[in-house]
Amino acid sequence: MSTYSDQSAVTVLGLGPMGRALAGAFLDAGLRTTVWNRTPGRDRELVARGAVGAGSAEEAVAASDLVVVCVVNYDAADSVLRRDAVTGALKGRTVVNLTADTPDRARDTASWAAAHGVRYLDGAIMTPTTTIGTPHAVFIHSGPEDLYQEHRPALAALGGTHTHLGEEIGRAAAYDIALLDIFWTSMAGYAHALAVAQAEGVTPRELAPFAQGIAAILPPIFGETAENVEAGVFPGDGNPITSAASTMAHIIHASEAHGIDASVMRATEGLARRVIGLGHGADDFSRVTDLLSRR
């Protein structure tokens, strides 16, 4: 095992859609790229493009100082990394785990890595496979700053923006779950909105440009809400939560009149009603964060 970090070689473990995109970007950037996947055959196209297809995870790990892991979750990552042969081969090398999971799983993996002489960075990918290798990709990382800087040149081959969020290893996963919370609740709202609109004879294509208009008002609202939540003030003069709850009730009634499940909106209205019940009806919707933060 070399004592210096070889920046010209990388191993990718996990060749789902994202792992294949990562390996493809490393290849395009000219890195010697070794790949492995639990189910054989997923490396075919990458090997045709010049990747080395390893016969086992330990063989793949032994090929590079830098090992990028991208599988479905940390149970899957553990089942690959925490086998004696693989753990032994990883000693002294760097794992960059771009698998999504919880902050606690990232911390647990970091403890395991430290106990086995594996250098460890955690990370998350915030954009779809099509962005990888382009300026539109967004990566977040956490873990030892010096280790991140050491591998920054190789990671740059993935394109886009890379942000090191700090040394606390769970930080990238913390951002990831918070950002995916926004994404999936937004998508749940959009999926529901399309169903209600269709039931009223409005086609998805007709609604889409207006939906994009609604999404466009959110960035400044996100900024203001963050300021207010940090300051502990919830000014509802423009749109008190009593008015917002009334709008939510209209959505629920219209939806259920068509037999469409309104449970996502019912949950949102329920939060608003709890805020009102606590005597904060004149505040704006961001008071919900205060409610949820009470343990």
Ligand X SMILES: NC(=O)c1ccc[n+]([C@@H]2O[C@H](COP(=O)([O-])OP(=O)(O)OC[C@H]3O[C@@H](n4cnc5c(N)ncnc54)[C@H](OP(=O)(O)O)[C@@H]3O)[C@@H](O)[C@H]2O)c1
- Closest distance of CB 91 from ligand X, Å: 21
Adjacent-strand bridge partners of 67: 11, 95
Contacts of 129-133 with CB under 8 Å at 24 or more apart are 129/17, 129/18, 129/20, 129/21, 130/21, 131/159, 131/160, 132/18, 132/21, 132/22, 132/24, 132/25, 132/158, 132/159, 132/160, 133/21, 133/24, 133/25, 133/28, 133/29, 133/157, 133/158, 133/159
Q: Which one, 52 or 272, has the nearer CB to ligand X?
A: 52
Residue 126 Cβ vs ligand X, minimum distance, rounded to whole Å: 7
Query: Which stretches of the chain bind ligand X, using CB under 6 A?
Result: 14-19, 37-39, 42, 70-72, 76, 79-80, 99-100, 125, 128-129
Pick 64 or 97: Cβ nearer ligand X: 97
Question: How far, in Å, CA of 288 to CA of 245, rounded?
Answer: 12
Q: Which helix (H) or strand (E) holds 120?
A: strand 119-125
In angstroms, what is the minimal distance from the CB of 69 to ligand X?
Answer: 9
Closest CA to 65 of 134, 127, 141, 121: 121
* Nearer of residues 71 and 245 to ligand X, judged by Cβ: 71
Q: Is the dihedral of CA 129, 132, 134, 140 positive or negative?
A: positive
- The residue among 98 and 245 lying less far from ligand X, judged by its C-beta, is 98
Q: In this chain, which residue has its C-beta nearest to ligand X?
A: 16
Which residue number, 42 or 280, has a Cβ lying nearer to ligand X? Answer: 42
Min dist CB 89 to ligand X, Å, is 16
CB of 239 to ligand X, least distance (A): 33
Q: Which is nearer to ligand X, 138 or 195 (CB)?
A: 138
Closest approach of ligand X to the CB of residue 52, in Å: 17
Mark 69-105 as b/e (b = at least 16 C-beta within 10 Å): bbbeebebbbebbeeeebbebbeebbbbbbbbbebeb
| Closer to ligand X by Cβ: residue 79 or 186 | 79
Phi, psi of 284 (to 5 degrees): -95, 180
Q: Are 122 and 142 in contact (CB under 8 A)?
A: yes
Least distance (Å) between residue 53 CB and ligand X:
14
